[in-house]
């Protein structure tokens, strides 16, 4: 598939950031903050910013009754509350609200200047959450709590017709626990008190019998029958219930490589995970096995990128492209092949059809328009034309799909889809 265009383009995006605020995360938060300029530029390219709800929560959900005065973990943590990040940055509501169209930002709940520079500044403040959070990171539970917590808000964060995009950034795996006994330092089930290894031991299973044995681990996957940690499927099922249409949910995880898993003995001869990599400051990043599995359940709208290389490129660009696609775009994606190099302009080989949702039996194929100078009066209508122009595209070819001659209103759920020959490298 090269482009999938709904009959009605949409303009609402609910964007949730789940940010690790434990030790050694400040530099990574700044990298995320710097990437936002590019995110908003790409979101706005050619069509203006969409209407945005932007919220931020941290991975700190506390450790219940096992919190102590000398611990970085409190009883309730930050509890998946959107309000905390917003309040710290002078936003009256629980999240940032931006009303916009192709002309720019129309209104917002930001104080003062309401331009895009102010928007980036406000969001940078929100995502830079510091390093005082609990070392038991629980991003999936924080996400669910933030999205469930609707009744107490003056404005609803999740809108019925909006695209929901979630960004999770953490240097350790998810440790969303349903049994707080996981955090009990005297729990005889565990050797040692390293939070990272305790979460690995309780939330992941790998090939081999002895979890404490040093060496590389293969075949690692979430442990669905863990006595302490919630099933990953609970969170995918939650999002599927919240947003039944798969095109309305996009999840990006910025995490450690889940394929590089190893165990070693620490300084006190306790087992600990081997870092999957270190960032430029030498801080360790650990494999995100559960989070990788979570993201993969969303297919092409689940995006995983390495936290090790997060500062080296446009690591949220794929998310922006998925958002634009879900809102609706006429831009053709991918390396569209020029099938006739002797003819001026790009000559493409595509077939185009209209279809209601995923119902193949409703599919109707369209012919190419046969009057280049008068497309709307082609001999067969409706027809399609693939051309440069129309919507401004940030894609390689700058080609858009246009349909002419559809007099009747489009059926509910109607999509126009183009599948084209692409270059293979």
pLDDT in tens, 73-84: 999 999 999 988
SS3 418: strand
- Token pair for residue 87? 């309040």
Helix, strand and coil content of the chain, in percent to the nearest 5, comes to 25, 25, 50
For the entire predicted model, the pTM comes to: 0.85
SS3 181: helix
SS3 88: helix
Identify whether the C-beta of residue 295 lies closer than 8 Å to the C-beta of residue 303: yes
Instruction: Number of helices (H) and strands (E) in the chain: give both, helices first.
Output: 8, 20
b/e per residue 292-309 (b: at least 16 CB within 10 A): bbbbbebeebbbbbbbbe
- Residue 81, Cα to own-chain centre: how many angstroms? 19
Nearest Cα neighbor of 21 from 56, 55, 68 is: 56
The single-letter DSSP state of residue 306 is: E
Tally the C-alpha atoms within 13 A of residue 220's C-alpha that lie toward its C-beta.
Answer: 24
Give alpha helix (H) positions in 116-216.
116-127, 139-148, 195-203
Model confidence over 391-423: pLDDT tens digits? 667 677 778 888 888 755 667 778 889 999 888
The pLDDT value recorded for residue 392 is: 64
The answer for 35, left when phi > 0, alpha when psi is -120 to 50, beta otherwise, is alpha
Q: Where are the beta strands (DSSP E) in 59-123?
A: 96-101, 104-108
- Going by their DSSP bridges, the two strands 277-278 and 96-101 should be labelled as unpaired
Tally the C-alpha atoms within 13 A of residue 57's C-alpha that lie toward its C-beta.
Answer: 28
Q: Angle, to 10 degrees, between the axis of helix 26-44 and the axis of helix 116-127?
A: 150
Rounded to an integer, what distance in angstroms lies between the CA atom of residue 301 and that of residue 248? 9
257 phi and psi angles, rounded to 5 deg: -60, 120
The pLDDT value recorded for residue 360 is: 84
Look-up: residue for tokens 């690995």? 200
Identify whether the C-beta of residue 422 lies closer than 8 Å to the C-beta of residue 332: no
Q: Terminal CA-to-CA distance of the chain, rounded, Å?
A: 18
Q: What are 54's strand-pairing partners?
A: 15, 96
Which domains are assigned to the chain?
6-327 (3.40.50.410), 350-420 (no CATH)
Task: Kindly list the distances between the CA atom of residue 15 and the CA atoms of 136, 306, 316, in Å, as whole numbers in the listed order.
Answer: 24, 20, 13
Cα pseudo-dihedral 68, 69, 72, 77, rounded to 10: 70
The pLDDT value recorded for residue 154 is: 46
Rounded to an integer, what distance in angstroms lies between the CA atom of residue 29 and that of residue 32? 5
Nearest Cα neighbor of 406 from 370, 380, 372 is: 380
- Going by their DSSP bridges, the two strands 12-19 and 51-58 should be labelled as parallel
SS3 410: coil
Look-up: residue for tokens 């009754």? 65
Low-confidence residues in the chain, pLDDT < 70: 1, 7, 46-47, 101-104, 106, 111-116, 149-155, 269, 310-314, 389-392, 394, 407-410, 425
Task: Kindly list the distances between the CA atom of residue 323 and the CA atoms of 117, 202, 294, in Å, as whole numbers in the listed order.
Answer: 21, 34, 19
Model confidence over 119-139: pLDDT tens digits? 778 888 999 999 999 999 999
Angle at 341 between CA 339 and CA 343, to 5 degrees: 100
Rounded to an integer, what distance in angstroms lies between the CA atom of residue 40 and that of residue 24? 27
Task: Kindly list the distances between the CA atom of residue 277 and the CA atoms of 35, 305, 308, in Å, as whole numbers in the listed order.
Answer: 21, 13, 6
| Burial class, 131, CB count within 10 angstroms (exposed 0-12 / middle 13-18 / buried 19+) | middle
């Amino acid at each position: 598939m090269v482009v999938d265009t709904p009959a009605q383009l949409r303009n609402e995006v609910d964007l949730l950031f789940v940010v690790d605020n434990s030790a050694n995360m400040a530099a990574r938060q700044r990298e995320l903050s710097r990437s936002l300029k590019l995110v908003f530029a790409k979101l706005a390219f050619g069509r203006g910013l969409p209407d945005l709800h932007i919220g931020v929560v941290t991975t700190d959900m506390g450790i219940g009754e096992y919190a102590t005065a000398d611990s970085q973990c409190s009883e309730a943590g930050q509890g998946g509350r959107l309000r905390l990040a917003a309040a710290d940055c002078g936003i009256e509501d629980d999240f940032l609200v931006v009303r916009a169209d192709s002309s720019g930002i129309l209104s917002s709940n930001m104080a003062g200047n309401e331009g895009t520079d102010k928007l980036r500044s406000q969001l940078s403040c929100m995502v830079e959450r510091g390093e005082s959070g609990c070392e038991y990171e629980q991003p999936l539970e924080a996400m669910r709590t933030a999205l469930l917590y609707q009744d107490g808000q003056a404005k609803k964060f999740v809108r019925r017709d909006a695209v929901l995009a979630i960004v999770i950034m953490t240097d350790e795996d998810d440790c969303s626990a349903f049994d707080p006994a996981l955090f009990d330092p005297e729990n005889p089930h565990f050797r040692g008190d390293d939070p990272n290894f305790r979460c690995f031991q309780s939330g992941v299973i790998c090939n081999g019998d002895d979890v404490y044995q040093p060496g590389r681990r293969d075949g690692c996957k979430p442990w669905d029958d863990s006595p302490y940690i919630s099933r990953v499927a609970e969170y995918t099922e939650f999002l599927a219930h919240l947003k039944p249409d798969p095109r309305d949910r996009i999840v990006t995880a910025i995490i450690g490589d889940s394929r590089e898993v190893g165990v070693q003995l620490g300084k006190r001869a306790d087992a600990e995970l081997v870092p999957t990599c270190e960032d430029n400051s030498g801080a360790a990043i650990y494999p995100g096995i559960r989070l990788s599995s979570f993201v993969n359940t969303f297919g092409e709208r689940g995006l995983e990128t390495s936290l090790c290389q997060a500062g080296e490129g446009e690591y949220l660009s794929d998310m922006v492209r998925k958002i634009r696609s879900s809102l609706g775009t006429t831009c053709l994606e991918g390396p569209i092949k020029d099938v006739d190099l002797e003819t001026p302009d790009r000559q493409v080989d595509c077939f185009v059809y209209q279809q209601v949702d995923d119902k193949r039996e409703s599919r109707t194929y369209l012919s190419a328009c046969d009057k280049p100078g008068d497309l709307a009066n082609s001999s067969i209508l409706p027809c399609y034309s693939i051309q440069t122009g129309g919507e401004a595209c940030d894609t390689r070819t700058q080609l858009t799909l246009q349909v002419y001659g559809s007099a009747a209103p489009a059926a509910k759920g109607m999509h126009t889809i183009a599948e084209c020959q692409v270059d293979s490298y």
